[in-house]
Amino acid sequence: MGLIQNILAVIVVLGLLVTFHEFGHFWVARRCGVKVLRFSVGFGEPLWSTIDRHGTEFAVAAIPLGGYVKMLDEREAPVPEEQLDQAFNRKTVWQRIAIVAAGPIANFLLAIVAYWALFVAGTTTVAPVVGDITPNSPAAEAGLEQGSEITAIQGDAMRSWEEINLKLVSMIGFSGDLTIEVVPEGASVTRSYQLPLNNYMVRQDPPQPLQSLGFSPWRPDVPAVLGQVVDGQAAAEAGLQAGDRIVALNGEPINDWMQFVAVIRDSAGETLSVGYQRNGEAGTLSLTPRRNTLESGAEVGYIGAGAEPFSWPETLQREIRYGPIEAVGQALSRTGEMVLLTVDAIRKMLVGLISPSNLSGPITIAQISGDSARAGVEAFVGFLAYLSISLGVLNLLPIPVLDGGHLLYYFVEVVRGRPVSEQTQAIGLRIGLAMVGTLMLMALYFDLMRLW
């Protein structure tokens, strides 16, 4: 069932993103007087199509992993003389720039609208309160105390763990003192700490912003009650059911969920005696966690079960909400931050600060799409906005076959006063296809490695 949900979620996500992207090209092309022959969502044989009064065919194709807008163009097929003024290649260079740039811009606009909707509807988040601190870590050396609420990092206000993680990820490769401002537990005055860093998270796979600083988010004690059990996995095969409360493992008392998880992770392939309570009655059964290999090569136990949902104390819940007008500025700001973060991540990957194994392909996107859909509308819309920004930025890279490659040719044409030669464009096309193909294969390879 989870696989089907992932597939449906990624089809919805990619369908929306591709439709908006191609509609950007389509809308501006029409405004510039270019005849659009086909607007297709997906590749391959059309499953459905219709033709409008302008002669444009709108189609939904069988392979939902992309889309395209086909325009009248003399370079692709002969054009009747009476339609030459509607050919893309006959338009001014600035019109062609506008048409090509409209796709990525549409993705950014979609992200702005998504963030605006989230800010207007309001989001409830958890206060960023420091939990356990690792001995001899930067946090421990600086004297950071458990129970402190983080209010700012490097002078930027922080309201949630999401904002903190985004800020820390943007600082990959940083060396120096990281300034963290907190309000200690039970205090009302802000205190500042300096955490010494050297090449922060360089080539870490995957990046672990908080663990690298030496602390974790504070969490309330969660009872070891199963909220979900996956069919076909070790927990279900052993006879555990949703609602069961785990009270002991091999005779040792289990007090909370994290203690239960820790024992399971350390017991791959070992048979455990599990004491549990179900509907007020006690029972015992045998459970053998399966082996799950992490990217680091370490093996951990896995049983296919999740915790029962729990509620955070109201004192630690924060609501972020804005009026319709104020939310516009916030949405623009968040989109701009995410664009800069994505561009900076690409730069750091090229110079070797970020491991290329962090590339994600269709499998990872499908998994995250499914997870965000199951997590609720807020998570799904937030992921949609982030992916839309990523698609917009990647399409603007100056690689032939991408929108950015075409824009590069057109800006060269603006400077030179004449188009780039067909031969040069053909060579660039081969290079671009090779680069994009290599990136896709790498992303798929790392997807499969994560899956295994």
Does residue 3 register a pLDDT over 70?
no
Asked whether the domain spanning 226-308 has the same topology as the one spanning 130-217, the reply is yes
The pLDDT assigned to 370 comes to 64
Q: What is the pLDDT of residues 112-156, one digit of tens each?
A: 999 999 999 988 888 899 998 999 999 999 999 999 999 999 999
Domain 226-308 has CATH 2.30.42.10: yes
**Residue 65 in this model has a pLDDT that exceeds 90:** no
More confident site: 267 or 206: 267
Contact 119, 327 (CB under 8 A): yes
pLDDT band at 1 (very low <50, low <70, confident <90, very high): very low
Question: Is the predicted pLDDT of residue 312 greater than 60, yes or no?
Answer: yes
Mean pLDDT of all residues in 345-363: 78
22 catalytic per annotation? yes
Average pLDDT score over residue span 254-277: 89
Q: If you average pLDDT over residues 344-365, what whole number do you get?
A: 78
Using the predicted structure, report yes or no on whether residue 361 has a pLDDT greater than 80. Answer: no
Asked whether 306 and 224 are in contact (CB, 8 A), the reply is: no
pLDDT in tens, 24-56: 999 999 999 999 999 998 888 888 999 999 899
- State the pLDDT confidence band at 185, using cuts at 50, 70 and 90: confident
pLDDT for 4 beyond 80: no
CATH class of 130-217: mainly beta
> Higher-confidence residue: 369 or 124?
124
Which one of 22, 149, 163, 181 is the catalytic residue?
22
pLDDT of residue 294: 63
Domain residue limits, the chain: 103-122+323-452, 130-217, 226-308
**Distance from C-alpha of 137 to C-alpha of 143, rounded to nearest angstrom:** 10
Percent of the chain beyond pLDDT 90? 45
Query: In this predicted structure, what is the pLDDT of residue 452?
Result: 62
Question: Is residue 447's pLDDT more than 70?
Answer: no
Stretch 197-218: mean pLDDT: 87
